[in-house]
A and B are shown apart, each in its own frame.
Chain A
Amino acid sequence: MGEIVLKDLRKSFGEVSIIKNINIHIEDGEFVVFVGPSGCGKSTLLRMISGLESVTSGQVIIDGADATHTKPSARGLAMVFQSYALFPHISVRDNIGFGLKIAGLPKEEIAAKVGAASKILGLDKLLDRKPRELSGGQMQRVAIGRAIVRDPNAFLFDEPLSNLDAALRVQMRIELIRLHGDLKTTMIYVTHDQVEAMTMADRIVVLQGGHVEQFATPIELYDRPVNKFVAGFIGSPKMNFLTAKPGAAGSIQIEGGPAIASPGIRPDQMTPTMTVGIRPEHLAYSHAQGDLKGKIVVEEQLGSDAFLYVEVPGIGMLTVRAVGERNYHGGEDIWLTLPPERCHVFDDKDLRIDPALHARAA
């Protein structure tokens, strides 16, 4: 059981409003990721759910019961912190069993549960060590172990992998996904890493400035970002944005560039100024022909991909992601083409204009 509903949730510190009217419904068993730039309020929001941060107004409803003013200890949630937050003075075994001991469970039951959890997490040989004798990855496993033994309604993760090195982060990410598959318990996960967000989440909450920009599945966020912020935030390298206006015969006129066919947007949906967004991987490129001619300023060759940073006169810098490409190099000329069906169009308020004909942009 772990349905969590946030209703008109607000938080201010004095005059400063950190969380502005958040409404989210998290289903039981869902893996939800809160993502956003630093200072967007994602950690604060998580801490409000945990009860560690007080709520200025609105409600936190856990499994149908109003938990807004319930103590953290009584919410039935488990939390994993970025800094692991293990108790340094007691052994791994006692760390994992800490919550159970507080709950007053009999010793044998605690031992059994700690044993089971440590086996899942590969900690069985480390149980008698103190936290300071562990590596970062092991410490984070202990923190996860401490969370899972309590069989909580939901897990709250506050950037749990940020302190680990890159290789370990990938490994722990996979372990967490597997763990969620096994436990099927609600997980709320805060990160600033969009790869973690995209790969782990059933649904992602994109936050900015204390409010929800979009709450949707990873693919939905990628395919149909509701506004320019989400479009720019999700995806790496970042989406290219070009200023545009309505063109002749229902087309869209790129400023300083060509007119492109509308991706199914009717002239009456258009606003006097618009932004056309296209992801680096969707820009078509050629040595010979295309909509825009530019010069490759920098080529970043990753082997699997090449990132080409192209300066287009009159438009500015565009990024191209060329999968497996080896034949384009810095200093060369390149032609770029914007496939209309791949273009996202945003109005003068930076909101997405949905193609009227298609249900979805491809």
Chain B
Amino acid sequence: MTNQNVGFKLLAAAFITFIFTAPILWMVLSAFKTINDIYAIPPVWIPDFTYLDNFKLLLSENWEFLLNSVIVTLGATALCMIFALPAAFGLVNFRFRGQEFLADWILSTRMMPPIAAAVPIFIVFNTLGMLDTLPALILVYAGFNLPFAVWVSMSFFRNIPKEVIEAARVEGCTWFQTFRLVALPLAKSGIATVATFVFIFAWNELLLSLFLTSREAKTFPVVISSFSTVTKTYWELISAATIIQILPPVIFTLLMQRHIVSGLTMGAVKN
């Protein structure tokens, strides 16, 4: 490859990257502007980064909803994994009648759009007196992610050589010990991948939260959406809030990156 060629490709890559990141960059800049600066013409390109009033105002009024989001997301991710991992392990390793049917059936529940279940779920939680509570959201998010988590985990457990599982059993392990001491450590990358996806889903979910919460259990995405009102859109607050919103998934993904990359490619070729 000639140098000219490399240069052209770099330029093209930079341009495409710019197109994808421009809205986010603009949003980051807006978060440090007053509403007047945002609408100013000519635009204020570089704001005063010491201007933090947007963040201060946002967090002072909404910190509890941010906390709700953290609790719901971590809770849903943990709950989902606690149920999905043993289920996936069992579906891969146990031989029983209807095994494949059960796996397909679990997947099929994913085919329904979540919003189709919103009204029934609303009625159920209303009856149980659980509307606008964190446990309700945790249950719903974990539940909606279970089929996906089970299926993806299954593919990772399937990648563990059958003999390794059998060796553990001959060596004296119960099924649970086999799961905990052998299968889990070997499926680590896969588990990190699944957990990341569930985390991002739960963290970003808006529709069900809008439906099932009013005040107490409101999550952060609902807060962001509330800044766009019929009469006015608070762009400076939306920008600041969105930065806060995208930070955890970015950090979580960076932490898990090494595992995710090996997780996504694992099993792609026979080793």
Tell me the A residues contacting B by CB distance below 8 Å: 50-52, 71-73, 77-79, 81-89, 98-99, 102-103, 146, 150, 156
Q: Does B226 contact A (CB under 8 A)?
A: no
| Cβ A99 vs Cβ B171 within 8 A | yes
Binds A, one of B26-34, B51-59, B125-133, B172-180: B172-180
Q: For window 128-166 of chain B, which residues contact chain A by CB distance below 8 Å?
A: 161, 163-164, 166
| Contact among B173, B185, B186 with A102 in the assembled complex (CB-CB below 8 Å) | B173
| Cβ B167 vs Cβ A81 within 8 A | yes
| Cβ A52 vs Cβ B171 within 8 A | no
How far is A132 from B60 in the complex, measured between Cα atoms in Å?
Answer: 53
Tell me which of A50, A85, A89, A156 has the highest count of chain B C-beta atoms within 10 A of its own C-beta: A85
Tell me the B residues contacting A by CB distance below 8 Å: 161, 163-164, 166-174, 177, 181-182, 185-186
How far is A150 from B167 in the complex, measured between Cα atoms in Å?
Answer: 13
Using Cβ atoms and an 8 Å threshold, which residues of chain A touch B172?
Answer: 73, 99, 102-103, 150
| Cβ B171 vs Cβ A81 within 8 A | no
How far is A89 from B177 in the complex, measured between Cα atoms in Å?
Answer: 15
| Contact among A88, A89, A146, A156 with B171 in the assembled complex (CB-CB below 8 Å) | A146
Q: Secondary structure at chain A's binding surface: helix, strand, loop or mixed? A: loop
| Contact among B161, B170, B181 with A52 in the assembled complex (CB-CB below 8 Å) | B170
| Cβ B163 vs Cβ A85 within 8 A | yes
| Cβ A73 vs Cβ B171 within 8 A | yes
> From residue B169, how far is it (CB to closest CB) to chain A in Å?
5
How far is A152 from B222 in the complex, measured between Cα atoms in Å?
Answer: 62
How far is A71 from B166 in the complex, measured between Cα atoms in Å?
Answer: 12
Supposing A88-B186, A89-B185, A102-B177 touch, asked if A72 and B169 sit within 8 A by C-beta, the answer is: yes
Using Cβ atoms and an 8 Å threshold, which residues of chain A touch B177?
Answer: 102
> From residue A102, how far is it (CB to closest CB) to chain B in Å?
4
What are 21 A-B pairs with beta-carbon distances under 8 A? A72-B166, A72-B169, A72-B170, A73-B173, A78-B170, A79-B170, A81-B166, A81-B167, A82-B163, A85-B163, A86-B167, A87-B164, A87-B167, A87-B182, A87-B186, A89-B185, A98-B168, A98-B171, A102-B177, A150-B171, A156-B170
14 additional A-B pairs beyond A52-B170, A89-B185, beta carbons within 8 Å, are A50-B170, A81-B166, A83-B163, A84-B163, A85-B161, A85-B166, A86-B164, A99-B172, A102-B177, A102-B181, A103-B172, A146-B167, A146-B171, A150-B171
| Cβ B167 vs Cβ A85 within 8 A | yes
Tell me which of B161, B163, B177, B185 has the highest count of chain A C-beta atoms within 10 A of its own C-beta: B163
Using Cβ atoms and an 8 Å threshold, which residues of chain B touch A86?
Answer: 164, 167
| Contact among A72, A89, A103, A146 with B186 in the assembled complex (CB-CB below 8 Å) | A89
Using Cβ atoms and an 8 Å threshold, which residues of chain B touch A99?
Answer: 171-172
> From residue A157, how far is it (CB to closest CB) to chain B in Å?
12
How far is A72 from B161 in the complex, measured between Cα atoms in Å?
Answer: 18
> From residue B17, how far is it (CB to closest CB) to chain A in Å?
37
How far is A156 from B163 in the complex, measured between Cα atoms in Å?
Answer: 13
How far is A156 from B166 in the complex, measured between Cα atoms in Å?
Answer: 13
Output the nearest chain B residue to A47 by Cβ-Cβ distance: B166
> From residue B156, how far is it (CB to closest CB) to chain A in Å?
14
| Cβ A102 vs Cβ B171 within 8 A | yes
> From residue A248, how far is it (CB to closest CB) to chain B in Å?
60
> From residue A324, how far is it (CB to closest CB) to chain B in Å?
44
> From residue B105, how far is it (CB to closest CB) to chain A in Å?
22
Using Cβ atoms and an 8 Å threshold, which residues of chain B touch A71?
Answer: 169
Output the nearest chain B residue to A80 by Cβ-Cβ distance: B167
